[in-house]
Structure 1
Amino acid sequence: MYRFLSDISFAPDEGARSPHVTLTYAQSLDGKIAGRHGKQLILSGPQSMTATHILRSKHDAILVGIGTVLNDDPRLTVRLNPEDLPQGSGPVQHPQPIILDSTLRFPTTAKLVLPTSLKKPWIFTSPIHDFQRKRDLEALGAKVYVLDVDAQGHLSLPDLLSTLHQLSIQSLMVEGGAGVISSFLKSGLVQSFLLTIAPVYVGVDGINAVDNAEAAPVFENISYHTLGRDVMMVARPHYQ
Protein backbone atom coordinates (compact mmCIF):
# COMPACT_ATOMS: atom_id res chain seq x y z
CA MET A 1 0.00 0.00 0.00
CA TYR A 2 2.81 2.41 0.86
CA ARG A 3 5.33 1.29 -1.75
CA PHE A 4 4.82 4.47 -3.78
CA LEU A 5 6.37 6.49 -0.95
CA SER A 6 9.64 4.62 -1.45
CA ASP A 7 9.72 5.76 -5.09
CA ILE A 8 9.86 9.46 -4.14
CA SER A 9 13.27 11.05 -3.70
CA PHE A 10 13.43 13.65 -0.96
CA ALA A 11 17.08 14.47 -1.58
CA PRO A 12 17.94 18.07 -2.51
CA ASP A 13 18.90 18.83 -6.09
CA GLU A 14 22.59 18.56 -6.84
CA GLY A 15 24.36 21.74 -5.81
CA ALA A 16 21.30 23.11 -4.00
CA ARG A 17 21.94 25.44 -1.07
CA SER A 18 18.65 24.58 0.62
CA PRO A 19 16.79 21.42 1.70
CA HIS A 20 14.32 19.50 -0.43
CA VAL A 21 10.92 20.86 0.66
CA THR A 22 7.91 18.54 0.85
CA LEU A 23 4.50 20.10 1.49
CA THR A 24 1.87 17.72 2.79
CA TYR A 25 -1.48 18.11 4.52
CA ALA A 26 -4.96 16.62 4.71
CA GLN A 27 -8.12 18.41 3.64
CA SER A 28 -11.83 17.73 3.39
CA LEU A 29 -13.75 17.52 0.12
CA ASP A 30 -14.59 21.22 0.51
CA GLY A 31 -10.94 22.18 0.94
CA LYS A 32 -10.87 22.67 4.73
CA ILE A 33 -8.00 21.69 7.00
CA ALA A 34 -9.43 22.76 10.38
CA GLY A 35 -12.71 23.65 12.02
CA ARG A 36 -14.01 26.98 13.23
CA HIS A 37 -11.31 29.21 14.79
CA GLY A 38 -8.67 26.64 13.81
CA LYS A 39 -10.13 23.79 15.87
CA GLN A 40 -8.22 20.57 15.19
CA LEU A 41 -10.03 18.04 13.02
CA ILE A 42 -8.99 14.40 12.54
CA LEU A 43 -9.48 14.21 8.77
CA SER A 44 -7.08 11.41 7.85
CA GLY A 45 -8.10 7.78 8.20
CA PRO A 46 -5.69 5.28 9.80
CA GLN A 47 -4.02 4.28 6.51
CA SER A 48 -3.27 7.83 5.37
CA MET A 49 -2.16 8.72 8.90
CA THR A 50 0.36 5.89 8.69
CA ALA A 51 1.54 7.29 5.34
CA THR A 52 2.09 10.66 7.02
CA HIS A 53 4.26 9.08 9.70
CA ILE A 54 6.25 7.17 7.07
CA LEU A 55 6.86 10.53 5.39
CA ARG A 56 8.01 12.02 8.70
CA SER A 57 10.53 9.21 9.07
CA LYS A 58 11.97 10.04 5.63
CA HIS A 59 12.68 13.71 6.42
CA ASP A 60 15.36 15.38 8.51
CA ALA A 61 12.98 18.04 9.83
CA ILE A 62 9.29 18.82 10.11
CA LEU A 63 7.83 22.34 10.11
CA VAL A 64 4.61 23.85 11.44
CA GLY A 65 3.52 27.36 12.33
CA ILE A 66 2.90 28.68 15.81
CA GLY A 67 -0.86 28.46 15.24
CA THR A 68 -0.59 24.68 15.01
CA VAL A 69 1.40 24.60 18.25
CA LEU A 70 -1.16 26.76 20.07
CA ASN A 71 -4.19 24.86 18.73
CA ASP A 72 -2.93 21.26 18.70
CA ASP A 73 0.13 21.10 21.02
CA PRO A 74 1.76 18.46 18.76
CA ARG A 75 4.77 16.26 19.47
CA LEU A 76 5.78 16.00 15.77
CA THR A 77 7.28 12.54 16.24
CA VAL A 78 7.08 9.36 14.17
CA ARG A 79 4.51 6.89 15.44
CA LEU A 80 4.66 3.64 13.48
CA ASN A 81 4.12 -0.02 14.20
CA PRO A 82 6.99 -2.38 13.25
CA GLU A 83 4.87 -3.89 10.46
CA ASP A 84 4.52 -0.44 8.85
CA LEU A 85 8.26 -0.19 8.25
CA PRO A 86 10.03 -1.61 5.18
CA GLN A 87 11.77 -4.93 5.79
CA GLY A 88 15.28 -4.43 7.12
CA SER A 89 14.64 -0.90 8.37
CA GLY A 90 16.74 0.32 11.25
CA PRO A 91 15.45 2.29 14.22
CA VAL A 92 12.90 5.00 13.43
CA GLN A 93 14.45 8.41 12.97
CA HIS A 94 12.36 11.27 14.33
CA PRO A 95 12.52 14.56 12.40
CA GLN A 96 13.78 17.77 13.96
CA PRO A 97 10.76 19.97 14.88
CA ILE A 98 10.88 23.42 13.24
CA ILE A 99 8.44 26.14 14.35
CA LEU A 100 7.74 29.46 12.59
CA ASP A 101 6.82 31.99 15.29
CA SER A 102 7.44 35.61 14.29
CA THR A 103 6.53 37.15 17.67
CA LEU A 104 7.65 34.23 19.86
CA ARG A 105 4.33 33.15 21.35
CA PHE A 106 5.57 29.59 21.85
CA PRO A 107 4.30 28.43 25.28
CA THR A 108 6.79 27.20 27.84
CA THR A 109 4.30 24.44 28.72
CA ALA A 110 4.16 22.92 25.20
CA LYS A 111 4.81 19.19 24.80
CA LEU A 112 7.75 19.97 22.52
CA VAL A 113 9.74 21.45 25.43
CA LEU A 114 8.79 18.93 28.11
CA PRO A 115 11.67 16.87 29.53
CA THR A 116 10.16 13.83 27.77
CA SER A 117 10.36 15.46 24.32
CA LEU A 118 12.51 13.35 21.99
CA LYS A 119 13.87 16.41 20.16
CA LYS A 120 13.59 19.97 21.41
CA PRO A 121 12.28 22.42 18.79
CA TRP A 122 14.16 24.91 16.69
CA ILE A 123 12.04 28.06 16.75
CA PHE A 124 12.45 30.74 14.08
CA THR A 125 11.33 34.23 14.99
CA SER A 126 11.68 37.84 13.79
CA PRO A 127 13.93 40.57 15.24
CA ILE A 128 10.84 41.88 17.06
CA HIS A 129 10.14 39.19 19.65
CA ASP A 130 9.78 38.62 23.38
CA PHE A 131 13.39 38.46 24.60
CA GLN A 132 12.44 37.05 28.01
CA ARG A 133 10.44 34.29 26.32
CA LYS A 134 13.50 33.52 24.20
CA ARG A 135 15.61 33.06 27.33
CA ASP A 136 12.92 30.93 28.98
CA LEU A 137 12.58 28.66 25.94
CA GLU A 138 16.32 28.24 25.56
CA ALA A 139 16.52 27.27 29.23
CA LEU A 140 14.07 24.45 28.40
CA GLY A 141 16.30 23.18 25.59
CA ALA A 142 14.77 24.90 22.57
CA LYS A 143 16.95 26.75 20.08
CA VAL A 144 15.72 30.14 18.90
CA TYR A 145 16.92 31.61 15.61
CA VAL A 146 16.20 35.12 14.35
CA LEU A 147 15.27 35.64 10.70
CA ASP A 148 14.66 38.74 8.61
CA VAL A 149 11.12 39.43 7.43
CA ASP A 150 9.93 39.94 3.86
CA ALA A 151 8.03 42.90 2.40
CA GLN A 152 4.76 41.55 3.86
CA GLY A 153 6.23 41.25 7.35
CA HIS A 154 6.44 37.44 7.20
CA LEU A 155 9.52 35.44 8.10
CA SER A 156 11.76 35.08 5.05
CA LEU A 157 11.41 31.53 3.74
CA PRO A 158 14.57 31.69 1.58
CA ASP A 159 16.53 32.78 4.66
CA LEU A 160 14.92 29.96 6.65
CA LEU A 161 15.94 27.34 4.09
CA SER A 162 19.45 28.76 3.82
CA THR A 163 19.83 28.55 7.61
CA LEU A 164 18.50 24.98 7.69
CA HIS A 165 20.98 24.02 4.97
CA GLN A 166 23.79 25.44 7.12
CA LEU A 167 22.44 23.33 9.99
CA SER A 168 22.78 20.17 7.81
CA ILE A 169 19.04 19.73 7.18
CA GLN A 170 18.72 18.06 3.76
CA SER A 171 14.96 17.44 3.68
CA LEU A 172 12.11 19.44 5.22
CA MET A 173 8.50 18.28 5.58
CA VAL A 174 6.01 21.15 5.89
CA GLU A 175 2.70 20.22 7.54
CA GLY A 176 0.85 23.48 8.23
CA GLY A 177 -1.27 25.25 9.28
CA ALA A 178 -3.13 27.33 6.74
CA GLY A 179 -0.85 30.37 6.71
CA VAL A 180 2.27 28.23 6.39
CA ILE A 181 0.71 26.12 3.61
CA SER A 182 -0.25 29.20 1.60
CA SER A 183 3.14 30.86 2.12
CA PHE A 184 5.07 27.82 0.92
CA LEU A 185 2.74 27.18 -2.04
CA LYS A 186 3.26 30.76 -3.23
CA SER A 187 6.98 30.78 -2.51
CA GLY A 188 8.18 28.65 -5.40
CA LEU A 189 10.30 26.64 -2.94
CA VAL A 190 8.34 23.37 -2.79
CA GLN A 191 9.67 20.34 -4.68
CA SER A 192 7.21 17.62 -3.56
CA PHE A 193 3.48 17.97 -2.86
CA LEU A 194 1.40 15.27 -1.17
CA LEU A 195 -2.27 16.03 -0.50
CA THR A 196 -4.59 13.70 1.40
CA ILE A 197 -8.26 14.13 0.53
CA ALA A 198 -10.71 12.81 3.11
CA PRO A 199 -14.32 11.99 2.10
CA VAL A 200 -15.92 14.44 4.53
CA TYR A 201 -17.36 17.95 4.43
CA VAL A 202 -16.51 20.53 7.09
CA GLY A 203 -18.68 23.49 6.05
CA VAL A 204 -18.28 27.22 5.58
CA ASP A 205 -16.92 27.85 9.09
CA GLY A 206 -13.87 25.66 8.46
CA ILE A 207 -10.39 26.98 7.70
CA ASN A 208 -9.37 26.88 4.03
CA ALA A 209 -6.08 25.23 3.16
CA VAL A 210 -5.20 27.99 0.67
CA ASP A 211 -6.14 31.65 1.02
CA ASN A 212 -5.29 32.73 -2.54
CA ALA A 213 -5.71 30.05 -5.18
CA GLU A 214 -4.51 32.39 -7.93
CA ALA A 215 -1.03 32.42 -6.39
CA ALA A 216 -0.78 28.62 -6.17
CA PRO A 217 1.32 26.68 -8.67
CA VAL A 218 0.16 24.23 -11.28
CA PHE A 219 1.10 20.59 -10.76
CA GLU A 220 2.78 17.98 -12.91
CA ASN A 221 3.82 14.31 -12.58
CA ILE A 222 0.55 13.69 -10.75
CA SER A 223 -0.42 10.30 -9.34
CA TYR A 224 -3.26 9.19 -7.05
CA HIS A 225 -3.12 6.50 -4.38
CA THR A 226 -6.00 4.99 -2.42
CA LEU A 227 -5.30 4.71 1.31
CA GLY A 228 -8.32 3.14 2.95
CA ARG A 229 -11.16 5.64 2.61
CA ASP A 230 -8.81 8.49 1.59
CA VAL A 231 -6.98 9.42 -1.60
CA MET A 232 -3.45 10.83 -1.62
CA MET A 233 -2.34 12.95 -4.55
CA VAL A 234 1.40 13.06 -5.22
CA ALA A 235 2.68 15.79 -7.52
CA ARG A 236 5.51 18.18 -8.28
CA PRO A 237 4.65 21.90 -8.25
CA HIS A 238 5.51 23.81 -11.39
CA TYR A 239 5.96 27.56 -11.04
CA GLN A 240 5.57 29.88 -14.00
Structure 2
Amino acid sequence: MSSPVSDKIDTFLRPLIASKQPYSHRPFVTLTYAQSLDGKIAGPDGQQVQISGRESSELTHRLRSMHSGIMVGIETVLNDDPQLTARFVPNPSEVSQPIPVILDARCRFPLSSRLMKNYKAGVGKRPWIVCDSGMSLAKRRIELEDAGCRILVMPTKGTGRFDLLPLLDRLNTSMITHLMIEGGARVISSFLNTPKNTLDLVVVTVAPVLIGKGGVEIVNENSTPSPELLSLGTETFGKDVVFACKVRHRDWKFS
Protein backbone atom coordinates (compact mmCIF):
# COMPACT_ATOMS: atom_id res chain seq x y z
CA MET A 1 0.00 0.00 0.00
CA SER A 2 1.31 3.43 -0.90
CA SER A 3 1.87 6.23 1.61
CA PRO A 4 2.52 9.98 1.36
CA VAL A 5 6.26 9.25 1.53
CA SER A 6 6.17 6.57 -1.18
CA ASP A 7 4.04 8.82 -3.39
CA LYS A 8 6.56 11.64 -2.94
CA ILE A 9 9.40 9.27 -3.82
CA ASP A 10 7.63 8.10 -6.98
CA THR A 11 6.93 11.67 -8.05
CA PHE A 12 10.62 12.51 -7.65
CA LEU A 13 12.11 9.40 -9.28
CA ARG A 14 9.85 8.42 -12.15
CA PRO A 15 10.79 11.29 -14.50
CA LEU A 16 14.49 10.53 -13.97
CA ILE A 17 14.72 6.96 -15.27
CA ALA A 18 14.64 6.26 -19.00
CA SER A 19 11.55 4.09 -19.49
CA LYS A 20 13.18 2.11 -22.29
CA GLN A 21 16.75 0.97 -22.81
CA PRO A 22 18.20 3.98 -24.70
CA TYR A 23 21.45 2.38 -25.91
CA SER A 24 22.48 -0.60 -27.99
CA HIS A 25 25.91 -1.04 -26.36
CA ARG A 26 25.29 -0.61 -22.64
CA PRO A 27 22.55 -0.31 -20.00
CA PHE A 28 21.08 2.93 -18.71
CA VAL A 29 23.36 3.49 -15.70
CA THR A 30 22.43 5.20 -12.45
CA LEU A 31 25.06 5.90 -9.80
CA THR A 32 23.81 6.52 -6.28
CA TYR A 33 25.34 6.93 -2.84
CA ALA A 34 24.79 8.65 0.50
CA GLN A 35 27.35 10.95 2.06
CA SER A 36 27.85 12.95 5.22
CA LEU A 37 28.10 16.73 5.31
CA ASP A 38 31.88 16.37 5.31
CA GLY A 39 31.79 14.28 2.13
CA LYS A 40 32.36 10.79 3.57
CA ILE A 41 30.49 7.63 2.58
CA ALA A 42 31.92 5.31 5.25
CA GLY A 43 33.98 5.35 8.42
CA PRO A 44 37.71 4.65 8.76
CA ASP A 45 38.88 1.53 6.89
CA GLY A 46 35.51 1.29 5.16
CA GLN A 47 33.58 0.73 8.38
CA GLN A 48 29.83 0.80 7.73
CA VAL A 49 28.13 3.91 9.10
CA GLN A 50 24.42 4.62 9.03
CA ILE A 51 24.19 7.82 6.99
CA SER A 52 20.74 7.90 5.39
CA GLY A 53 17.54 8.35 7.34
CA ARG A 54 14.49 6.16 6.91
CA GLU A 55 12.80 8.23 4.18
CA SER A 56 15.86 8.55 1.94
CA SER A 57 16.55 4.84 2.49
CA GLU A 58 13.06 4.17 1.15
CA LEU A 59 14.01 6.22 -1.91
CA THR A 60 17.09 4.06 -2.44
CA HIS A 61 14.99 0.90 -2.23
CA ARG A 62 12.48 2.31 -4.71
CA LEU A 63 15.37 3.17 -7.01
CA ARG A 64 16.58 -0.43 -6.75
CA SER A 65 13.18 -1.66 -7.85
CA MET A 66 13.45 0.46 -11.02
CA HIS A 67 16.65 -1.28 -12.20
CA SER A 68 17.23 -4.79 -13.51
CA GLY A 69 20.73 -4.99 -12.01
CA ILE A 70 22.57 -3.52 -9.03
CA MET A 71 26.38 -3.40 -8.88
CA VAL A 72 28.78 -3.25 -5.94
CA GLY A 73 32.40 -4.15 -5.39
CA ILE A 74 33.53 -7.14 -3.38
CA GLU A 75 34.77 -4.91 -0.53
CA THR A 76 31.18 -3.76 0.03
CA VAL A 77 30.06 -7.39 0.25
CA LEU A 78 32.86 -8.29 2.67
CA ASN A 79 32.45 -5.19 4.87
CA ASP A 80 28.67 -4.71 4.88
CA ASP A 81 27.12 -8.06 3.85
CA PRO A 82 24.34 -6.19 1.98
CA GLN A 83 21.11 -7.69 0.69
CA LEU A 84 20.75 -5.37 -2.34
CA THR A 85 17.01 -5.97 -2.50
CA ALA A 86 14.08 -3.57 -2.65
CA ARG A 87 12.39 -4.13 0.71
CA PHE A 88 11.19 -0.69 1.87
CA VAL A 89 8.67 -0.31 -0.96
CA PRO A 90 4.91 -0.74 -1.26
CA ASN A 91 4.05 -4.41 -1.88
CA PRO A 92 7.66 -5.72 -1.87
CA SER A 93 6.52 -9.26 -2.73
CA GLU A 94 5.32 -7.94 -6.10
CA VAL A 95 8.59 -6.20 -6.96
CA SER A 96 10.97 -7.68 -9.51
CA GLN A 97 14.21 -7.65 -7.55
CA PRO A 98 17.43 -6.46 -9.25
CA ILE A 99 20.19 -8.92 -10.11
CA PRO A 100 23.18 -8.37 -7.79
CA VAL A 101 26.35 -7.90 -9.84
CA ILE A 102 29.55 -8.16 -7.79
CA LEU A 103 32.91 -6.93 -9.10
CA ASP A 104 35.23 -9.54 -7.63
CA ALA A 105 38.45 -9.90 -9.61
CA ARG A 106 40.01 -12.41 -7.18
CA CYS A 107 36.88 -14.53 -6.56
CA ARG A 108 36.59 -13.72 -2.85
CA PHE A 109 32.78 -13.77 -2.79
CA PRO A 110 31.65 -15.48 0.45
CA LEU A 111 29.09 -18.24 -0.03
CA SER A 112 27.81 -17.49 3.49
CA SER A 113 26.72 -13.99 2.44
CA ARG A 114 23.15 -12.74 2.71
CA LEU A 115 23.10 -12.42 -1.07
CA MET A 116 23.44 -16.20 -1.35
CA LYS A 117 21.04 -16.86 1.51
CA ASN A 118 18.41 -14.62 -0.09
CA TYR A 119 18.86 -16.33 -3.44
CA LYS A 120 18.46 -19.80 -1.94
CA ALA A 121 15.43 -18.62 0.05
CA GLY A 122 13.81 -17.26 -3.11
CA VAL A 123 13.73 -13.63 -1.94
CA GLY A 124 16.65 -12.37 -4.05
CA LYS A 125 18.07 -12.96 -7.50
CA ARG A 126 21.04 -15.17 -8.32
CA PRO A 127 24.31 -13.29 -7.70
CA TRP A 128 26.40 -12.56 -10.76
CA ILE A 129 30.12 -12.54 -9.93
CA VAL A 130 32.48 -10.74 -12.31
CA CYS A 131 35.86 -12.48 -11.98
CA ASP A 132 39.25 -12.13 -13.59
CA SER A 133 40.01 -14.57 -16.40
CA GLY A 134 43.31 -15.77 -14.89
CA MET A 135 43.84 -19.53 -14.88
CA SER A 136 44.89 -19.48 -11.21
CA LEU A 137 41.27 -18.66 -10.31
CA ALA A 138 39.69 -21.43 -12.40
CA LYS A 139 39.04 -23.77 -9.44
CA ARG A 140 37.43 -21.03 -7.35
CA ARG A 141 35.26 -19.91 -10.28
CA ILE A 142 33.96 -23.48 -10.59
CA GLU A 143 33.24 -23.59 -6.83
CA LEU A 144 31.22 -20.38 -7.02
CA GLU A 145 29.31 -21.58 -10.06
CA ASP A 146 28.57 -24.96 -8.46
CA ALA A 147 27.21 -23.11 -5.40
CA GLY A 148 24.69 -21.27 -7.58
CA CYS A 149 26.44 -18.08 -8.68
CA ARG A 150 26.56 -16.98 -12.28
CA ILE A 151 30.16 -16.28 -13.28
CA LEU A 152 31.11 -13.60 -15.79
CA VAL A 153 34.77 -13.87 -16.76
CA MET A 154 36.42 -10.60 -17.79
CA PRO A 155 40.13 -9.76 -18.11
CA THR A 156 41.82 -7.26 -15.82
CA LYS A 157 45.27 -7.63 -17.43
CA GLY A 158 46.89 -7.84 -14.02
CA THR A 159 45.47 -4.53 -12.78
CA GLY A 160 42.63 -5.92 -10.67
CA ARG A 161 40.29 -3.48 -12.45
CA PHE A 162 37.78 -4.25 -15.16
CA ASP A 163 37.41 -2.14 -18.31
CA LEU A 164 33.99 -0.62 -17.77
CA LEU A 165 32.68 -0.34 -21.34
CA PRO A 166 33.23 -4.02 -22.27
CA LEU A 167 31.75 -4.98 -18.91
CA LEU A 168 28.66 -2.84 -19.48
CA ASP A 169 28.28 -4.25 -22.99
CA ARG A 170 28.43 -7.77 -21.53
CA LEU A 171 25.72 -6.94 -19.00
CA ASN A 172 23.60 -5.34 -21.71
CA THR A 173 23.73 -8.45 -23.87
CA SER A 174 22.76 -10.44 -20.76
CA MET A 175 19.49 -8.45 -20.53
CA ILE A 176 20.45 -6.00 -17.80
CA THR A 177 18.98 -2.89 -19.40
CA HIS A 178 19.03 -0.61 -16.35
CA LEU A 179 21.98 -0.84 -13.96
CA MET A 180 22.31 0.82 -10.55
CA ILE A 181 25.80 1.42 -9.12
CA GLU A 182 25.67 1.49 -5.32
CA GLY A 183 29.22 1.11 -3.99
CA GLY A 184 31.72 1.10 -2.64
CA ALA A 185 34.07 4.04 -2.98
CA ARG A 186 36.42 2.37 -5.46
CA VAL A 187 33.60 1.35 -7.80
CA ILE A 188 31.88 4.74 -7.56
CA SER A 189 35.17 6.54 -8.25
CA SER A 190 35.85 4.31 -11.25
CA PHE A 191 32.56 5.29 -12.85
CA LEU A 192 32.92 8.98 -11.98
CA ASN A 193 36.51 9.25 -13.15
CA THR A 194 36.46 7.26 -16.38
CA PRO A 195 36.73 9.50 -19.47
CA LYS A 196 34.25 7.29 -21.30
CA ASN A 197 30.47 7.63 -21.30
CA THR A 198 29.44 5.12 -18.67
CA LEU A 199 26.91 7.09 -16.60
CA ASP A 200 23.52 8.65 -17.22
CA LEU A 201 22.09 9.59 -13.84
CA VAL A 202 23.68 10.47 -10.49
CA VAL A 203 21.54 10.47 -7.32
CA VAL A 204 23.30 11.63 -4.16
CA THR A 205 21.84 11.76 -0.65
CA VAL A 206 23.45 14.25 1.73
CA ALA A 207 22.68 13.62 5.40
CA PRO A 208 23.20 16.03 8.34
CA VAL A 209 25.91 13.92 9.98
CA LEU A 210 29.69 14.26 10.31
CA ILE A 211 32.02 11.27 10.08
CA GLY A 212 35.31 13.06 10.60
CA LYS A 213 38.95 12.22 10.05
CA GLY A 214 39.74 8.94 8.37
CA GLY A 215 36.35 8.50 6.73
CA VAL A 216 36.16 7.20 3.17
CA GLU A 217 35.76 9.87 0.50
CA ILE A 218 34.56 9.60 -3.10
CA VAL A 219 36.51 12.61 -4.34
CA ASN A 220 40.00 13.49 -3.11
CA GLU A 221 43.11 15.29 -4.30
CA ASN A 222 44.09 12.31 -6.47
CA SER A 223 40.77 12.17 -8.36
CA THR A 224 40.74 12.84 -12.08
CA PRO A 225 38.23 15.35 -13.51
CA SER A 226 34.67 14.08 -13.05
CA PRO A 227 31.89 14.37 -15.64
CA GLU A 228 29.81 17.50 -16.00
CA LEU A 229 26.50 17.18 -14.16
CA LEU A 230 23.27 18.97 -14.99
CA SER A 231 20.76 19.30 -12.16
CA LEU A 232 17.40 17.59 -12.60
CA GLY A 233 16.01 18.29 -9.16
CA THR A 234 16.53 18.45 -5.42
CA GLU A 235 14.17 17.16 -2.75
CA THR A 236 14.16 16.76 1.02
CA PHE A 237 13.30 13.36 2.48
CA GLY A 238 13.17 13.48 6.25
CA LYS A 239 16.38 15.20 7.39
CA ASP A 240 18.28 14.32 4.21
CA VAL A 241 18.59 16.22 0.93
CA VAL A 242 18.64 14.23 -2.32
CA PHE A 243 20.22 15.64 -5.47
CA ALA A 244 19.47 14.17 -8.91
CA CYS A 245 21.68 15.05 -11.87
CA LYS A 246 22.08 13.77 -15.39
CA VAL A 247 25.52 13.32 -16.87
CA ARG A 248 26.23 15.49 -19.87
CA HIS A 249 27.63 13.56 -22.82
CA ARG A 250 26.99 13.60 -26.52
CA ASP A 251 24.97 10.40 -26.79
CA TRP A 252 22.57 11.24 -23.93
CA LYS A 253 19.01 10.11 -24.55
CA PHE A 254 16.30 10.80 -22.05
CA SER A 255 12.64 9.80 -22.08
**Partner residue, 1:107:** 110
Q: Which residue of 2 aligns with 1:169?
A: 176
Residue 195 of structure 1: SS of its match in structure 2?
strand
Check whether the contact 1:194–1:234 (CA below 8 A) recurs between aligned residues: yes
For 1:148, the equivalent position in structure 2 comes to 155
Kindly state the Cα deviation for residue 204 of structure 1 after the two structures are TM-superposed: 1.4
Tell me what 1:40 maps to: 48
In the other structure, the counterpart of 2:164 is: 157
After superposition, the Cα gap between the structure-2 partners of 1:149 and 1:219, relative to the gap in structure 1 and judged at 3 Å, is same
Distance in structure 2 (CA, Å) of the matches to 1:168 and 1:231? 33
Which stretch of the first structure deviates more once superposed, 46-55 or 124-133?
124-133
**1:150-229 maps to which residues of 2 (within 5 A)?**
153-187=160-194, 188-211=197-220, 212-229=222-239
Rounded Cα–Cα distance in structure 1 between residues aligned with 2:159 and 2:234: 35
SS at 2:192's partner residue?
helix
Partners in 2 of 1:198 and 1:127 — Cα distance? Answer: 40
Q: Is the 8 A contact 1:125 1:155 kept in 2?
A: no
Q: Secondary structure at the match of 1:52?
A: helix
Q: Partners in 2 of 1:18 and 1:12 — Cα distance?
A: 12
State the TM-score, normalizing by the size of structure 2: 0.86
Q: 1:122 matched to which residue of 2? A: 128
Cα distance between partner residues in 2 of 1:221 and 1:150: 37
- Cα distance in 2 for residues equivalent to 1:223 and 1:229: 17
Q: Counterpart of 1:21?
A: 29
Q: Show the counterpart of 1:232.
A: 242
- Aligned-partner residue type, residue 238 of structure 2: G
> In 2, distance between residues paired with 1:153 and 1:140?
24
Q: In the alignment, which of 75, 78, 85 is matched to residue 77 of structure 1?
A: 85
1:198, 1:151 → 2: CA distance?
Answer: 38
Query: Which sections of structure 1, spanning at least 5 residues, go unmatched?
Result: none
> What does residue 69 of structure 2 align with?
61
Residues 238 and 121 of structure 1, relative CA distance in 2, 3 Å threshold:
same
Q: CA RMSD in A?
A: 2.1
Gaps of 5+ in 2: 1-7, 251-255
The answer to whether the 8 Å contact 1:150/1:156 transfers is no
The verdict on how the C-alpha distance between 1:118 and 1:151 changes in structure 2, with shifts beyond 3 A counting, is closer
Q: Which amino acid aligns with 1:123?
A: I
Give secondary structure in 1 for the equivalent of 2:94. Answer: coil
Whole-angstrom CA distance in 2 between matches of 1:135 and 1:20: 30
1:16 CA displacement: 2.6
2:16 partner SS: coil
TM-score by length of 1: 0.91
Query: Structure 1 pair 135/126, CA: closer, same or farther in 2 (3 Å)?
Result: same
The 1:134/1:152 distance shift into structure 2, 3 A limit, reads closer
In the aligned structure 2, how far is the partner of 1:11 from the partner of 1:136?
A: 37
Identity, % of aligned positions: 40
- Aligned partners of 1:60 and 1:168: how far apart in 2? 8
